[in-house]
Amino acid sequence: MLEYAAGAGDAIAYLKESENDVDIFVEDVAGVRAWNYVIQNILQGSGKKFKSVTALGSRQAVIDECKKYRTRTDRKRLFIIDRDMDDLIRSGLRRLAQLHTLEVSCFENAIINPNSLSDIAADAAGIADPADARQLFDFGNLLAELEAAFRVTFVLFGVSQRLETGLKCSKIGSGRFVLANKNLRRQMNSTVIPKAIFKFNLAFARDIIRHASVAEFRRELRIVKASALGVNGKKFISGKYFIAPPVLSRLSANFGYNGSKSQLVIELGRRFEPAFSPKLARRVKAL
């Protein structure tokens, strides 16, 4: 997929006017095909023509493009950004009428849902009733396990961001913490390895302290921990790097799914149900 030069959003949207009645701008170039399905599913039956989103490559690029066109009314436009860790690090954004922040950490969090996963698992395993696959997959417990396992990790990421250490979750991912497929067969518990996560968290905390003082680390830790209280993990735990890999591992090990993570994301986008992201659906339908 192409990543367009900074400031080219308006020109690209102009070129797409014959195929799009509305203009949708997103961050992730790699997620364009999945995003196209999502928007098409939301607009289904609306009478609006839509073929493709425009990916600008980064969160800041989307915000900058939105600021440029906040006073224009000649085209219906929506600029969509990931929530990232806003709930933890309290990074308030200026309110822009055409800017929509996802309800969850990232795009992948918005499209991973039990219904879609059950359908994909049933198709892969040849299970006639997706309800049976849903019970076997047990996504609710998997998500709860991942949230419990990685909550402290993401609190530390929040501290790291507030102290501007430069370490991001995209550089880590959950791959090192997920049990190999052979260990997942039949036994769907213990998807993650607690000891490995604890060791990583300890090393990560030490690394943060090396970039700051112990006093600064403690101060920021108190702030981020307080922000995380009562917040659903899907709002800040990255689906792209920490939820999708274990989901893919479970699909492969227990249902014979042989697609890549990229293929899984596209398939989840194709099966997207607007009811699972109601605020996004409302904003798009309102265009």
Which tens digits make up the pLDDT trace of 59-81?
999 999 888 876 666 788 999 99
- Could you tell me the CA-to-CA distances from 99 to 4, 82, 186 in Å, in that order? 19, 11, 45
User: According to the model, what pLDDT value does residue 179 have?
Assistant: 53
How far apart are alpha carbons 108 and 274 in whole angstroms? 14
pLDDT of residue 67: 86
Secondary structure letter of residue 78 according to DSSP: E
Q: What pLDDT does 232 receive? A: 84
pLDDT at residue 94 in the model: 64
pLDDT < 50 stretches in the chain? 1, 180-189
Q: Where are the domains of the chain?
A: 9-109+277-285, 126-269
Tell me the per-residue pLDDT of 21-71, one tens digit each, with 9 for 90 and over: 999 999 988 899 999 999 999 999 999 999 999 999 899 999 998 888 766
Q: Where are the beta strands (DSSP E) in 45-145?
A: 54-55, 77-81, 99-101
List residues bridging with 216 in a β-sheet. none
